Every structure is written in structure tokens, then in C-alpha cells.
Structure 1
């Protein structure tokens, strides 16, 4: 019993470290890419297009990645291999800013991010099981947001001093530390059946359900509402950074870093608060509030493209993203508990969510180029109104699935 306890403590500490460092290998150089390409003479339309190409590639891989993770007995490899490819992909843009080179870089980064996010959910579930997932996922997200704060702050400073090369090197360092962290999680501490949501009855594991279970109404409503939300949300931060950078070119890297830092600091608090609220009241209201934050954010962004506007815009981003980072994975695991398809289900939801996120930069970028940034922010924010309507209209069906999980 003592050995099991020691292994579990070691695993959870390594899991926290993984979540802290993995942000940079999920997003590569993230929002700094837009500022870098602007400085190389690119316009917002083509920048949005290469980001969308990456998003489309990542979207197509989330469901297959989930299926592989469900069936694999070595879930750690789905962090290590994508991490290596992300570091290489981010470095590509240092050598060439050709449209197709940048596009390939974004495609590789997005595919890696899709696999890593799903793998961490599976690893967490395999360590703490279903009843401990809500609390541990909240802690995971808090550490992940803290890592984003550290990464963004260092990236902004290093970018200001030495340019994009230093940001890429930092991303590589975080990638290496992420891979070390996941390898410090003992493989024996991950229950591969629990990680995919299989239950044991009479000493034997149940068989996985058929894929048709993924077409259940609660999961479809959740995924569709998230797709509409991210159709507006995904482009708002990089576009806001570019809008501000066009006005204050001398400190563009620090401004973009500040947009990330503010949001991520809010997310740390919100993810812990969301975890506690979910334990008492479930997930329905948490997700609704996250949807409501986007139209308000878009309206404020359209009127305040300035350093002062940065604070309310990114506080709202932190509220929306922070609540979803806790509620969505936990709700999917709750809906699919016992099916043996939790990771493919996570991937399927991410695929539909990714459709919106993939299209968002291209739509937002071309709207901004043709009509201006202010109009783009209002239009992007309005897509979440569809999410709010879907979530509210189906509230009776969703309330049961969103109810609090039983305490461990």
C-alpha cells in the first residue's frame, strides 16, 4: 500500500509539471507568429489562412488520436513524439517565411497539440480514475495556465531583446521539460482501462461500446455549441494582438505577451473556482457563462483597441477559456463513463470544436483586412450567440448529464 501511495504521489507531481510545461508544445510560438509575420510584410488575410490550415490539420487528427490513445498501452508516447515534432516545426519559420513552409509548420504544431491534449486527459483519468478526475483536471488546468503565464512573460521579454529566435528556443526548452515530465510518470501508475473509461464488473472489464454512442444528443449539442464558440473565439486574440501591434510596433512582442499573461492569470483562478463550483452544482451553468463571455468580449475589443482595452478583453478571455478547460473534459468523461471510448470521445468533441477554431483565423483575418479590426471583433463575438441558444434550448436534456459527479 505504501508503494502504491508513493507511485501515485510521484505520478501526480510529474503530471502537474507536464501541464506546466506543455503549453508551448501545444501552441508552438502561438500568438507571436502573427506579430512576427506582420514584421516580415505579411497581411492579416494570409496570416489567418496559414493559422486556419494548421487548425484544419489538427481538427482532422483529434478523433484518430483519441482512438489510438484508447487502444494504446503506452499513453506517454503521445506526448513525447508530438513534442519532438513541435520543436522542429516551430524552428522551421526561422529559416523561411515562405507561405508553404509556415503553413507546414502550423500543420505539424496543430497535429501535435491535438494528440497531446487528449493524451493528458487519458493519463490523468488512468491515474485518478473517474471519481477523482474533476478535481485533478482542475489542478491540471491551473498548472497549465501558470505555465502559459511563465512562457508568455519570458517570450515577450526574450522577443523584445533578441527577436523570434529566442522565443523558439524557449518553446524548445519547454518541450524538452514536458517530455522529461511525462517520462517521470511511472507507466504502472496508469490504469489503461480506467484511462479509456472501462468499468470492472465481477472482476472482468466490460467491453467498449460501439461508436454510435458518440452520436448521443448531449455530446452532439456540446460539440456543436463549442464549434460555434470557437468560430468566433480562436481568431480574437491573435487579431487583437495584430491590431494593437500595428499601432505600437516598438513593443509589439511585449504587448502580445501581456495579452496572454492577463488571460492566463485569470484562468488560474477561474479553473480552481470552476472545479469547486462543478463539484457542488455541475457543469451546465459553467459552460453557459463561458459562452456569454465571448459576445461581451468582442464588443469591448471593437471599441478599445488600446492598452487600456487589453485588460477587460483578456479578463473575459480568461473567464471563458478557464471555465471550459475545466468543464468540457470533465463533462465528456462523465457522459462517456463506462463506454471505453472516453479518449475518442474527447477527440470527437475536439474535432467539431476544431472546425470552428480552424475557420476562425481565416474568416477573422479577411474580415479585418477588408472592413477593419473593429467590425471583425463584433462579428467574431456574435458567433457565440448560436452557442448560447443551443445550450439554453437543450437545457432540459443537458441538466441531467451536467449534474455533479459523486464524490470520491
Structure 2
């Protein structure tokens, strides 16, 4: 290998390591805006209605910003810069939450976080694509998911400790501080575009003009792969979003001695599986293709729902929850990967993710209402089975209509590139 070639490989390898850390710290940063917000606001004497309204408004803003956020990332000259701005905004939102608990301040912080997340998520995958190219993006996305899962688990444990030993407010000071190492990791990715052409035979669209943007819209809205995936993942999220909260409610009623431990186990076990399985999923996308893995990931959800409906022993909920790890590993890699396949020739990668994200956001928005109505009127067993049936519909849509999106010869090129 020539000296210039060796330098390029080392340069890309160093940036891939920086991207590992960036994915890790982004997950750290986002963990602070999980259940810790509800705990903090409850301790500050907020009513559940007020908390619910703030969370709902944040969810609606996030839903509305999916497509505009994707368009903005596609048109950006520097995607790492967009990611850095999003990270800074999320850190600022955490600091606002830590400094006060007034309604206006918390609402503004939550809207700021939701808006910034719509930029951060497509920025991470776009930077990944620019760095390694289309032929290796599957493996790279699996690596991202692994480091993000590890980051989620470690951050949840650390923030839980800070909340217990100091205060619930301390969680958000820690979250704000995590923006610093996140941006530091991003600093080493600031010039990823210069290596992209060497890593893929397909041209990578760095900036989208207005003409290209219009073409991307037309192309994406007519892309069968993308639309079927959006429908399937939207239905998947409609069934999945409320399943774990419903498990938490059931365990609270059935396991009076240790519900918190069992609920924590139901959260941690899938995260461990995602961390372990995601790299293998990324590699299998190059050999098996996308469609078989997508079907496996979707099929795990109805099995999980029906199993929850039938079992009565609360301790059996934990091993069944391992199926969530399978689904999360596959969906987390396949959604951005199929989006990359769909936009390989025409661009609009972040926009494609915004379209899929909107479908999933709609599913997540309606899922609690459906699960709550089924539980209140027909019982938790019927609720699990109803969610399982919705998941079956998602699976049928994928089996019947989802084509294979991997190009012929892509597996060989990926092996050569690695």
C-alpha cells in the first residue's frame, strides 16, 4: 500500500473511532430526556396532566419537524456542523430544565430538544454515509447502534445514581455537561466529506439544490421500497410504542414484591441484546440482504405481544422481552440503511429518513390511546393481543410488498472495502 493510501486508511479509521464515540455520547445526552423528566417534574409538584401536555407538545413538534429537519440536513454544506448545533441545543435544553421548573421554561426546553433531535438523528446517519460510503453503510450503522445502546445503558445507570445521591435536578446538569465530550468527538469528524468518494463507487450528494430537492421529493414519493418501509414501520411503532409501558403497568400489579427490579430488567435486557446483535445485523445485511432481516425484526413483535398476553408469571416477562432486542437491533439498522439504498442515485438521504420518521411518529402518537382503551375496556391480555395483531399487519405488509433494496454486487464491494 502506498504512503498516501495508508494515510487515507488511518485517517478514515480514526474518524470511524470518533464516530463511535459520537454515537456513544449522543446516546448519553438523549438518555437525560427519557423518564428522568417525568420523575423530576413530579418531584417539583407538577400534575400528571401538565407533564402530559408538555410531553405531547414536544412529540407533536418532533413529528412536524421530521421532514423539514431531513431537508435541512440534506442541503447543509457541513453535516457535522448541523450535528454540532443540534448537540449544543440539546445541551442548552437540559441546562434550562436544570435551572428552573416553571411551565414556560420547561415547555421551551422540551420544544428545543424535540426540534434539535430532528436534526441530530439524520445528521448522524448522513455523516456515517459520507464517511464510509454506500457499500459499507450497513456495517457502520450496526456499529453506531452498538455504541448508542452501550451509551444508553451506562448513562441510565449513572444518571439514576446522580438522581439518588444528589437530586433529580442534578441529572440535567450532567446531561448538559455531556454536550462537551459529544462536540469534542464531533470535532474529529469535521472533514468527513473529503474521504467519502474513496469509500464508495456511488456519488454522495453533499448539498441539495432546489432543483435536486424537487427531484428528490418526486423520486422518494414514488419509491416503493421507501413507502412500504414507512407503512410497515409506522404500523410496527403503533404496536410497539405502548408495549413496554403496558408491561410496566402489569408488572406493578402482579409483582408487588419487586416490580421496579423487573421493569428495570425489561429495559436493560433488550439494550444488551442491541449492543451485541447490531454489528452482526449490519454485516448480515450485506450477505442476506435487507428484506429477510426486516421480516425477522418485524416478526419478533407479534410473538412478543401474544406471549405477554398468555403468560401470567411476572418473572417470565423478562425473557420474553428479549424479543424486543431482536426487533430493536434490526429496525435500528434497517431503517437508515434502506433509506440509503433508496437515495443512492438521486440523493435526499436525510429527507427519506424524515419521511420514515414521520410515519413512525404517527404510530407512536396513537399507540398509547389504543393500548389504553383496550386495557381499560377489555383488559391487559386483550390489549397485548390487539397490539400483536397490529404487528402482524406490519409483518404482512413487509412480506407482501417489500422488495429487496440491496444492489447486485454490493456484498462483494463491501467485503473489498472493509
Please classify the TM superposition score into its range, dividing by the shorter chain length.
0.7 to 0.9
Q: Which residue of the other structure, out of 395, 399, 402, is the alignment partner of 2:404?
A: 399
What residue in structure 1 maps to residue 355 of structure 2? 348
The change in CA–CA distance for 1:107 and 1:368 in structure 2 (over 3 A counts) is farther
Structure 1: runs of 5 or more not aligned: none
Summarize deviations over 1:363-389 as a string: whole Å, max 9, x none. 445655666655544433332122112
Shift in Å at residue 123 of structure 1? 0.4
Mapped pair 1:218 → 2:225: yes
Mapped pair 1:131 → 2:135: yes
What residue in structure 2 maps to residue 236 of structure 1? 243
Separation (CA, whole Å) in 2 of partners of 1:364 and 1:403: 42
Contact 1:58–1:113, Cα closer than 8 Å, also in 2: yes
Moved more, 22-31 or 267-276: 22-31
Separation (CA, whole Å) in 2 of partners of 1:290 and 1:225: 11
Question: Which one has more relative contact order, counting CA pairs under 8 Å at least 6 apart?
Answer: 1
The change in CA–CA distance for 1:264 and 1:26 in structure 2 (over 3 A counts) is same
Q: Which residue of the other structure, out of 10, 13, 17, is the alignment partner of 1:13?
A: 17
Contact 1:26–1:116, Cα closer than 8 Å, also in 2: no
What residue in structure 1 maps to residue 186 of structure 2? 182
Aligned length: 399
Q: Which residue of the other structure, out of 83, 88, 97, is the alignment partner of 1:84?
A: 88
Shift in Å at residue 274 of structure 1? 1.1
The change in CA–CA distance for 1:9 and 1:276 in structure 2 (over 3 A counts) is closer
SS in 2 for 1:76: helix
Contact 1:364–1:376, Cα closer than 8 Å, also in 2: yes
Shift in Å at residue 107 of structure 1? 3.3
The change in CA–CA distance for 1:128 and 1:284 in structure 2 (over 3 A counts) is same
What residue in structure 1 maps to residue 295 of structure 2? 288
Shift in Å at residue 331 of structure 1? 1.5
TM-score, normalising length from structure 2? 0.82
The change in CA–CA distance for 1:58 and 1:25 in structure 2 (over 3 A counts) is farther
Separation (CA, whole Å) in 1 of partners of 2:369 and 2:110: 14
Counterpart mapping for 1:310-389 below 5 A = 310-365=317-372, 374-389=381-396
Summarize deviations over 1:269-301 as a string: whole Å, max 9, x none. 221221222121101121112112222223344
Separation (CA, whole Å) in 1 of partners of 2:400 and 2:333: 23
Moved more, 205-214 or 319-328: 205-214
Q: Which residue of the other structure, out of 96, 99, 110, is the alignment partner of 2:101?
A: 96
What residue in structure 2 maps to residue 66 of structure 1? 70
Separation (CA, whole Å) in 1 of partners of 2:58 and 2:94: 12
Contact 1:281–1:403, Cα closer than 8 Å, also in 2: no
Contact 2:132–2:196, Cα closer than 8 Å, also in 1: no
Separation (CA, whole Å) in 2 of partners of 1:85 and 1:104: 11
Moved more, 3-12 or 345-354: 3-12
Contact 1:53–1:358, Cα closer than 8 Å, also in 2: no
Contact 2:32–2:171, Cα closer than 8 Å, also in 1: no
Shift in Å at residue 310 of structure 1? 4.4
Shift in Å at residue 241 of structure 1? 3.7
Separation (CA, whole Å) in 2 of partners of 1:151 and 1:305: 32
SS in 2 for 1:96: coil
Computed over aligned residues only, the root mean square deviation of the Cα atoms, in angstroms, reads 3.6
SS in 2 for 1:22: helix
What residue in structure 2 maps to residue 148 of structure 1? 152
TM-score, normalising length from structure 1? 0.84
